[in-house]
Amino acid sequence: MVFLPQEVIARKRDGLDLTFDEIARFIAGFAEGTVSHPQAAAFAMAVFFRGMSMDERVALTLAMRDSGTVLDWSHLDGPVADKHSTGGVGDNVSLMLAPILAACGIYVPMISGRGLGHTGGTLDKFDSITGYNTNPDNDLFRQVVRQAGCAIIGQTADLAPADKTLYAIRDVTGTVESIPLITASILSKKLAAGLDCLILDVKTGSGAFMPTLDRSRELAQSLVAVANGAGMKTGALITDMNEPLASAAGNGLEVRNAVEFLAGAHQDPRLKEVTLALCAEVIEMTGSATGTEARRKAEDALDSGAAAERFGRMAEALGGPADFVENMDRHLATAPIVRDVFATGEGTVIEIDTRGVGMAVVALGGGRTRPEDTIDHSVGFDRLAGLGARVGRAAPIARLHARDEASAAEVERRLQAAYRLGDTAPQNDLIADRLAPTT
């Protein structure tokens, strides 16, 4: 029977459940080029409005996984694990988590994505490092994982290729916030990476794709159910994104923040707590340690400098400078304009439109409005004030890094609009919930 992708689109548009075969053939056609980009965009929009059953989500995830190669790490002498964040602002956890776990004897082959909407992408951060190859072939990827214990890269051409293109389409068609599409996108890459276990960092709050706790929990439950149903041991933490997680937002600036974190020069408290909590979850899932001992192992890997050494080893093995950790100032681009941004009044920061902060980075050129856009890795903010901070004439809300005066002036206004001042800041739970792997 002739396969007509428009019939699949119409069935989903009308709210009907798709069969495993219909989904598999649609995604295979998209990967092969017989299903067009406009048809894929229409499919994404139909799913956005009509949703998908759990069986459909599993089918979509497996179809996108099977559009390319599935890696096998059975030759390694330790567990293989990874982490994924649903996206936020100032969320550079992956840059610390991977080398911390590697220093604990856990291999981390991390397949990362680029920025999506207002959120920064891990891959874009690593593109800030001169020479770092974010798209190695599978042979080099395997070699670096084996030698350094971790490798953070983008999707190679043969790892979940259908997702790679659909990911870019979703970014510019208003279909980012679909739970079925987010579930399949995240998990297809992780299943293709051949993991033993996975920890998910599902964000909630003003800077998250799912701003309410109920929606974040719904996404976490979908991810955990589909991943475990596909045979990959997976748990999740739901963490707060009502303010930037790090005090930096912008690709190169977040890399600098991460290296300072690993070296012990500066560690944002909220960032440290989330990073170590996620590491402890992975250590427990792999059976390497339990309870407080799992947390202690992660802390020791960080405090001893072993994690920083692993980061440097990974960066060099993937083409970056051999002295990047020690001399990152020589290798990270700097913006021509650097200046403080002050609030329009004085008081305590009681609310942050974190999405607005992320979009301000995009407006500076640090994100994309079209898939083909080039990113300026030097722009963004550091020294971002968090909730509860006192700001005013002598205490800025951030330091701005911009390419030109026009964008700097616009973004100053954007950032000021994102901060609301008052008397008392809310107390948000940093870790709002935990979902254990299902058996």
Q: Is 118 a catalytic residue?
A: no
Q: Is 85 a catalytic residue?
A: yes
Statement to judge: residues 314 and 168 lie in one domain: yes
Full domain range(s) for residue 360: 334-422
Q: What percent of the chain has pLDDT over 70?
A: 99
- Residue 241 in any domain: the answer is yes
Q: Is 11 a catalytic residue?
A: no
Cα–Cα distance, 113 to 61 (Å, whole number):
16
- Residue 379 in any domain: the answer is yes
Q: For 17-65, how does the pLDDT look when each residue is reduced to its tens digit (9 = 90+)? A: 999 999 999 999 999 999 999 999 999 999 999 999 999 999 999 999 9
Per-position DSSP letters for 178-218, written without gaps between them: -HHHHHHHHHHHHHHTT-SEEEEEEEESTTSSS-SHHHHHH
CATH of the domain at 278: 3.40.1030.10
- Residue 57 in any domain: the answer is no
Q: Is 122 a catalytic residue?
A: yes
How far does Cα 192 stand from its chain's mean position? Answer: 17
pLDDT at 396: 98
Which position among 185, 239, 286, 288 bears the catalytic label? 185
Mean pLDDT, rounded, for 190-203: 94
Q: What percent of the chain has pLDDT over 90?
A: 82
Cα–Cα distance, 147 to 314 (Å, whole number):
8
> Which of 22-31, 124-133, 215-224, 369-378 comes out lowest in average pLDDT?
369-378
Per-position DSSP letters for 295-338, written without gaps between them: HHHHHHHHHTSHHHHHHHHHHHHTTS-TTTTT-GGGTS---SEE
State yes or no: pLDDT of 294 exceeds 80: yes
Statement to judge: residues 307 and 353 lie in one domain: no
């998250």: which residue's tokens?
208
Provide the number of structural domains found in the chain.
3
Statement to judge: residues 280 and 223 lie in one domain: yes
Q: Is 185 a catalytic residue?
A: yes
Statement to judge: residues 96 and 206 lie in one domain: yes
Mean pLDDT, rounded, for 171-198: 90
pLDDT band at 117 (very low <50, low <70, confident <90, very high): low
pLDDT at 439: 62
Q: For 395-436, how does the pLDDT look when each residue is reduced to its tens digit (9 = 90+)? A: 999 999 999 999 999 999 999 999 999 999 999 999 999 999
State yes or no: pLDDT of 214 exceeds 70: yes
- Residue 61 in any domain: the answer is no
Q: For 322-358, how does the pLDDT look when each residue is reduced to its tens digit (9 = 90+)? A: 999 999 999 999 999 999 999 999 999 999 999 999 9
Statement to judge: residues 285 and 343 lie in one domain: no
Statement to judge: residues 338 and 294 lie in one domain: no
CATH of the domain at 45: 1.20.970.10
Statement to judge: residues 361 and 267 lie in one domain: no
Cα–Cα distance, 34 to 238 (Å, whole number):
39
Mean pLDDT, rounded, for 266-295: 96
Statement to judge: residues 303 and 380 lie in one domain: no
Which position among 57, 65, 84, 217 bears the catalytic label? 84
Q: Is 190 a catalytic residue?
A: yes
- Residue 67 in any domain: the answer is no
| Distances from the Cα of 418 to the Cα of 243, 286, 330, 406, angstroms | 10, 41, 33, 19
Cα–Cα distance, 433 to 426 (Å, whole number):
18
Helix or strand run (H / E) with residue 431:
strand 431-435
Mean pLDDT, rounded, for 242-264: 97
Which position among 25, 57, 83, 270 bears the catalytic label? 83
Which position among 12, 25, 61, 85 bears the catalytic label? 85
Where b means 16+ CB within 10 Å and e means fewer, 285-316 reads bbebbeeeebbebbeebbeeebbbbbbbbbbb
Mean pLDDT, rounded, for 162-166: 88
Query: Is 115 within 8 Å of 367 (Cβ atoms)?
Result: yes
Q: Is 84 a catalytic residue?
A: yes
Cα–Cα distance, 31 to 68 (Å, whole number):
9
Which position among 65, 170, 331, 368 bears the catalytic label? 170
